[in-house]
Amino acid sequence: MNVILLGPPGAGKGTQAKKIVESYSIPHISTGDMLRENINNSTPLGIKASSYMSKGELVPDELSITIIKDRLSRTDCSKGFLLDGYPRTIPQADALQMILTESDRKIDVVLNIEVYDEELIKRLSGRRMCKCGASYHMIFNPPENDEICDLCKGKLFQRDDDKEEAIRNRLTVYKKQTQPLIEYYTKKKLIRTINGGQDIPQIFKDIKKVLKEYD
Ligand code: AP5
Ligand code: MG
Ligand code: ZN
């Protein structure tokens, strides 16, 4: 099953992706996570990407396309994959289609998670991360101890782009560059809309109901 998670920043793509890949045993492919890993390791790619990301801009298409092409060629994707945060522009979607066609694969479904702007801002400004990959929200999904990860006891931190100015820019960038993908995939009859304004377990239930049709 080859699935795309589409939705604005803070929609809950990462939160739901963790649950989906556990249930369906497919790899979770997040270009955002891969880029942040490159930044932490100061790779040439990370160095190029970091100034765009901290401002909430998209990195140039050629960077994200290179990363995704490499990732999708690995053997763990042969039984399916879940894309989170890719594609984000029409050229990225076209490139994806080419990569998949070359290897005789296709996208089965695009889950479009819808959430209002005000709620997105609340979610992003309250998010805290851990270096182990865990993600919390200080009000909606709090850790037992305000600053410490429940799983690994690491110290929680805020993502650079979860500061107010970058959040606003990310929402603007989403509307301009990513939202056109909804029409793009609607034309291909691949879009299924998910109400992302509900609580985390209910959204997951709705997602599972849709994915059942494709499993
Ligand atoms: P990326 O890492 O993909 O960030 P994003 O799309 O901005 O989305 P987020 O990760 O912020 O939100 P999410 O939807 O995963 O929400 P989450 O589950 O964490 O990209 C970051 C940057 O990398 C981009 O700005 C760009 O620079 C670059 N980049 C990445 N991919 C690229 C590409 N393809 N091309 C170009 N550039 C690219 O949830 C958010 C918070 O809400 C959490 O605190 C969570 O606990 C909470 N929450 C989740 N669900 C609920 C709920 N139902 N109710 C209440 N709270 C909830
Ligand atoms: Mg995410
Ligand atoms: Zn942790």
- Give exposure, 64-78, as e/b (b: 16+ Cβ within 10 Å): bbebbeebbeeeebe
Instruction: Indicate if 71 belongs to the active site.
Output: no
- The 3 state secondary structure assigned to 95-119 is HHHHHHHHCCCCCCEEEEEECCHHH
The yes or no reply on domain 2-116+178-211 and CATH 3.40.50.720 is no
Beta-bridge partners for 128: 136
Q: Decide whether any atom of ligand 1 lies within 6 Å of the 138 Cβ.
A: no
pTM of the prediction?
A: 0.96
Mean pLDDT by runs of 10 across the 215 residues of the chain is: 98 97 96 96 96 95 97 96 98 98 97 97 96 93 94 96 93 98 98 97 98 93
* C-alpha to C-alpha distance for 206 and 40, rounded to whole angstroms: 35
Q: Decide whether any atom of ligand 1 lies within 6 Å of the 128 Cβ.
A: no
pLDDT score for 20: 97
Q: Note if the bond before 87 is cis, omega within 30 degrees.
A: yes
* C-alpha to C-alpha distance for 157 and 129, rounded to whole angstroms: 5
- Give exposure, 19-32, as e/b (b: 16+ Cβ within 10 Å): bbbeebebbbbbbb
pLDDT score for 146: 87
Instruction: Indicate if 123 belongs to the active site.
Output: no
Q: Decide whether any atom of ligand 1 lies within 6 Å of the 88 Cβ.
A: yes
What single-letter amino acid sits at 196?
Answer: G
Q: What is the DSSP string of 72-96?
A: HTSGGGTT-EEEES---SHHHHHHH
Q: Rg of the chain over CA atoms, in angstroms?
A: 17
Counting ligands in written order, the one closest to the CA of 133 is: 3
The answer to whether the CB of 167 falls within 8 A of the CB of 55 is no
End-to-end CA distance of the chain: 6
Instruction: Indicate if 105 belongs to the active site.
Output: no
Domain ranges of the chain: 2-116+178-211
Which residue of the set 71, 88, 128, 192 is catalytic?
A: 88
pLDDT score for 215: 84
